[in-house]
Amino acid sequence: VPEKAAASAVGPRGNVQRIGVEKYQRIELLDTASLMPGDLVEVELISEAKNDYDYVVMTDPLPAGFEYVSPVSGYRWNWRSPVYCEYREREARFYVRSLARGPGNVFYRLRAQIPGRYLALPASGKGVYAPELKCNSSQETFLVKE
């Protein structure tokens, strides 16, 4: 949910000036959550690693009726180490060079576009060079109203 926020910046004469900034309040969406077209959804992939792992890839299928807010692939530094993000037509992939023991998470944003009832398929993770290392999440249902 968007909220009003301001920050201080240097003005044209070196004075302090208040400018508006983009800020959002996070509200948890429960299963079968109702959204409106244009609503912003922040996806958070949370991992809990029991050991230290190298070369892990996480895949999150894109739900129908949604689109990426910023579909620019590249490195993101919102994990403990850099993560390479790829935004594709059907899924988002996150390549983690080293996954440290303990909790970690990756964020990205979607926007609801088309009214309807949609199923978000489970996200999955696996070791690139260790196929026995696997994980997955639960699926969610979203209702985008007109």
pLDDT of res. 79:
65
Burial of residue 94 (CB within 10 Å: 0-12, 13-18, 19+) is buried
pLDDT of res. 129:
92
pLDDT of res. 89:
93
Rounded Cα–Cα distance for residues 133 and 126 (Å): 5
pLDDT of res. 78:
66
The contacts of residue 85 (CB under 8 Å, 6+ apart) are 73, 74, 75, 76, 92, 93, 94, 95, 106, 108
Low pLDDT (below 70) residues in the chain: 31, 78-79
Region of residue 55 (phi > 0: left; psi between -120 and 50: alpha; otherwise: beta): left
Rounded Cα–Cα distance for residues 60 and 125 (Å): 9
pLDDT of res. 146:
83
